Amino acid sequence: MFFPPFCMPPSTESRRQYQRYKLEMMKAFRDSLETRLAAVNAAISTVEQQISQEGE
């Protein structure tokens, strides 16, 4: 089995694989943040509604 030395630049295919992995990780991170943001927005809306109902 051949192991290239560490000083060799990565192959084009390994770079593409890393870029695909990185993209999938960033998409998963974004989806998680969007879910959390939706929950926070819903909580804010609920509290705003409760405040406006108390004022009536």
What pLDDT does 4 receive? 62
Residues 6+ apart with CB under 8 A from 10: 18
3-state secondary structure of 7: coil
What pLDDT does 55 receive? 78
3-state secondary structure of 51: helix
What pLDDT does 17 receive? 93
Q: What is the mean pLDDT of residues 34-43?
A: 97
Question: Would you list the DSSP string of 26-47?
Answer: HHHHHHHHHHHHHHHHHHHHHH
* Mean residue pLDDT across the chain: 89
What pLDDT does 6 receive? 67
The pTM of the full predicted model, rounded to 2 decimals, is: 0.64
- Cα distances (Å, whole numbers) of residue 43 to 23, 36, 49, 53, 55: 30, 11, 10, 15, 19
- For residue 1, pLDDT over 60 is answered with no
